[in-house]
Amino acid sequence: MTLTAILIVAAALFGIGLFGALSQKSFVMLMMGLEMMLNGTLLAAVGFWAFTLEGAPKGQLLAILVMAVMAVELAIGFALVVAVYRKREADVIEGIGTMKQ
């Protein structure tokens, strides 16, 4: 278990998440992609903390913050999805094609 290995795993998770976020039609699936990217980020943060910081606690703090970001993203995301669904009856991205001039 080396830092490089961990970071490559993190990169793989991030790439999968990127693919998901770009390719999925459903809002919920899109958010899953975002979560997956944050998953990779979390892993990378912990990896950096464990291998390059001599255990400086701020590294863990960063991971905690990443988790907080995930929570925020999820909460606001679902609230938006609910709101959009109520107004537009849309649960896929193509359902709100009005985001243009």
Partner 1 sequence: MTLWLLPLVPIIAGAFIATLGDRSRLLLGIMAVATLAATLVLALLGVSQDWTATLVWTDAIRLSAAFVPVSAAVAIMVPTVAIAVVFHATQNESKTGLARLIGLMILFTGGMELVVVANDLLTLLIGWELIGACSWALISHKWRQIDNPQSGLYAFVTTRTGDLGLFAALMALFTATGSFDYAGIQNLGGPLQWVVGFGILFSAASKAGQVPFSPWLFRAMAGPSSVSALLHAATLVAAGAYLVVRLHPYLAEVPGFEATAIAIGLTTALAGGITGVLQDHAKRLLAASTSAQLGFMFVAVGAGYPGIAVLHMIVHATFKAPLFLSAGIAGEAAGTYQLDRLRLGRELPVVAIITLVAVAGLAGLVGSAGGWSKEEIVKASEHTGFWLALSVMAGGTLSAAYATRFQLLAYGRRDKDADSRVTTVPGWVALIGIAALSAMTLILSLLWFSPVAESAAAALDIILPKGSPLVFALSLLLVLIGIAIGVYLVRYRPALGATGSSAAASDWLGLPKLIDIVLIQPADAIARAAARTDDRVVDRGIRGTAAFGDWLARLGDRFGEAATDGIPEGTARLTEMFSHDLRRLQTGLSHHYYAYIIGGVFIIFAILVVGA
Partner 2 sequence: MGRIGGTGMTDLLFYALSALAIWSGWRVFRVDSMIRATFALMVSFTSVGGIAVLMAADYIGVATVFMMAVEMMVMGLFMVMFMMNPAGLNPMQMVHQYKFSIAAGVLGFVGLATAVLLTNFPDNPLPENRDTLRDLGIELLGGSMLIFETAGVTLLATMVGAVALSSRRGRFGDSDAGAAPPGLHPGGEPAGRKVEKGGGHGGHGGHGGHQMNMEKTKQDSSDDPHKGHGNMSETEA
User: Binding to partner 2 (CB under 8 A): which residues in 52-71?
Assistant: 52-55, 57-58, 60-61, 63-65, 67-68, 70-71
Phi, psi of 92 (to 5 degrees): -125, 160
List C-alpha distances in Å: 31 to 3, 20, 46, 47, 82: 28, 9, 22, 24, 13
Could you say which of partner 2, partner 1, none residue 47 binds, taking C-beta under 5 to 8 angstroms by partner kind?
partner 2
Paired strand residues for 97:
none
**87 is an interface residue for partner 1 by CB under 8 A:** no
Residue numbers 22-81 binding partner 1 by CB under 8 A:
22, 24-25, 30
**97 is an interface residue for partner 1 by CB under 8 A:** yes
